[in-house]
Amino acid sequence: MRFSAILLLGLVMLITACSDGGGGDSGGDANPQDDLLASIQWPQEPDHIVFRADVVGGANFDSFLRLSEVPECTVYGDGRVVWVVENAQGDAQTVFNIVTPLDIRNFVSTVTFNFDIYGQETAAEFALDTTPPVVEQLQIHINDVQHTTDILGGWDYDYYEEILQLCIDMAGQPTIFEPAGAWLSVQATEFDTRSPLQRWDADITGVDLAELAASGEPVWIEGRLLEVMWDLVERNPADLQLDQNGGIFWIALQIPNVTRSSPPTPNT
C-alpha cells in the first residue's frame, strides 16, 4: 500500500508538471503544484481520519481507564482538527479548530514529500502472548490509501514530534472542546488510597452509578449531565474514584470522532 500511494502521487506530479506546460492558451497559466494539491482527495466526512498522531500500546492500552483518551492530534475529513494541550494547571485539555481543505492538502503534501511518511515502516508483528510496546504512531489515509508507521520502523530523532507540531500548527488557534454528546461507561472498582476520590449523589444527579456498572453497557448522555461528566474527566486523572454510598466507581466518556475509540452517535 505504501508504494501504491507513492506511485499515485508521483504520477500525478509527473503528469501535471508535463502537461500543457508551454503550448496552448489553457496551458500557459497552469500551475502544476495546484494540480498536485487538487489530486489529494479524501471523504470529507466527520468520521474519516485523514491523519492521526498518537501514542499507542502498552499492557493497559485496552483497559477501561483509557477509554476517555484523546489522541495527540487528529485531522478529520470534515476539516476538524482535535488535539491535546497542557493547560495552566499542567493538565491535558482537549481543543479543536476547523481548517480548510487547502490547509489539509498542504499538510498532506508536506508529510508525504518532505517527510516521506509513506516510506516509513511500521513495527514488526509481535507474538500473541507478547505485550505490545508503547510506541509513537502516525496514520494517514488519503486517495483510498491508508498507511500506518511507528517509531519502531526506524524513524529519525524527533520525526514524530516534528510532524505532530506540523499538525498542531496547521490547526491554528485552539478552541476549548465541549462535546454535544458522549457514551458514558461506569465500572465498579476497589477503593485505592493512591487515587483521587469524589462523592457522587445519585438522587441529585439522577444517575445511579451502581446500576450503570451492573448493566455493563454504555449510555448516551447530553446536556447538563454531560457537562458535569466531561468536567470530571478533563480535570482529573483517569483513575478518579466516585464514591456512591460507599460503592467505588470509575467513569469513562467516549465521544464519537474525538476519543480514540467510540461507538457511533445513536441512530447513525
Q: Tell me if 33 is assigned to some domain.
A: no
pLDDT at 31: 61
Domain enclosing residue 246, as ranges: 182-254
Residues of the chain with pLDDT under 50: 1-4, 7, 11-28
Rounded CA separation 121/123 (Å): 7
Q: How many domains does the chain contain in total?
A: 2
pLDDT at 133: 86
- Collapsed DSSP state (helix, strand, coil) of residue 217: coil
Together in a domain, 109 and 149: yes
pLDDT at 25: 45
Together in a domain, 112 and 235: no
Cell of 143: 486517495
Containing H/E element for 168? helix 159-171
pLDDT at 29: 56
Rounded CA separation 7/188 (Å): 52
pLDDT at 33: 66
pLDDT at 171: 96
pLDDT at 1: 47
pTM of the model: 0.85
Together in a domain, 49 and 169: yes
Together in a domain, 46 and 172: yes
Together in a domain, 108 and 81: yes
Q: C-alpha angle with apex 25: 24 to 26, nearest 5 degrees?
A: 95
Max Cα–Cα distance, the chain, nearest Å: 81
pLDDT at 10: 54
